[in-house]
Structure 1
Amino acid sequence: MSMTYINILLAFTVSLMGLLMYRSHMMSSLLCLEGMMLSLFVLMSMMILTTHMTLASMVPIILLVFAACEAALGLSLLVMVSNTYGVDYVQNLNLLQC
């Protein structure tokens, strides 16, 4: 495995650990999710280029579309929660809490 793949997998792992460690604030969770999606996009693009799989060349573009939709929904949820409660804590999203 080349050093480039190891660096991309390390970026994914660091983003995943950041998501697990800093999950109390919504903005940091969204940034970690975006880091994970970016590293997945680069990894998939590199794998398709090295294996010359022309049939799977649309998969990274589809991943980017889903990442953009996830970012838009996450930011709209962040704006809604911060306008309602004044903070961006994830614990404010619990509907069972009074």
Structure 2
Amino acid sequence: MTLLHLNFYLAFMLSGLGLAFHRTHLISALLCLESMMLAMYISLSVWPVENQSAVSTLAPIIMLAFSACEASTGLAVLVASTRTHGSDHLHNLNLLQC
């Protein structure tokens, strides 16, 4: 494992730990998810360059499109929960209630 791979792996794991431990606000959870997606996007972008193959150059673009959809959906949920509950605290949100 090269130093570059280790950095991407550590960035992904630190984002996962941030998601696991800092679960008070919805915006912090969304930022941790976005940093996980960013680590995966950069590693998928670097992988074809390291292997000198042009076959999998479309995968980062597709992942970037899904990441943009995920970010817009997350912000829509954040705005909707802030309007209905008055804050973005995750302990106020109950998924079993309408």
TM-score, normalised by the number of residues in structure 2: 0.91
* Cα RMSD, aligned residues only: 1.5
Q: Which residue of 1 aligns with 2:59?
A: 59
Whole-angstrom CA distance in 2 between matches of 1:93 and 1:64: 28
Q: Which residue of 1 aligns with 2:69?
A: 69
Q: Which residue of 2 aligns with 1:37?
A: 37
SS of the aligned residue for 1:55 comes to coil
Q: Structure 1, unaligned stretches of length 5 or more?
A: none
Q: Structure 2, unaligned stretches of length 5 or more?
A: none
Q: Which residue of 1 aligns with 2:86?
A: 86
Matches within 5 A, 1:22-33: 22-33=22-33
Q: Which residue of 1 aligns with 2:19?
A: 19
CA contact (8 A) 1:24 1:89 kept: yes
Query: In the TM superposition, what is the alpha-carbon distance from 1:92 to its structure 2 partner?
Result: 3.9
Query: In the TM superposition, what is the alpha-carbon distance from 1:55 to its structure 2 partner?
Result: 1.6
Count the aligned residue pairs: 98
Deviating runs (4+, > 3 A) in structure 1?
A: none
Query: In the TM superposition, what is the alpha-carbon distance from 1:25 to its structure 2 partner?
Result: 1.5
Whole-angstrom CA distance in 1 between matches of 2:80 and 2:30: 15
TM-score, normalised by the number of residues in structure 1: 0.91
Query: In the TM superposition, what is the alpha-carbon distance from 1:54 to its structure 2 partner?
Result: 1.2
Q: Deviations over 1:48-73 (max 9, x none)?
A: 11112212100000000000000000
Whole-angstrom CA distance in 2 between matches of 1:93 and 1:57: 39
- The percent of aligned pairs where both chains have the same amino acid is 44
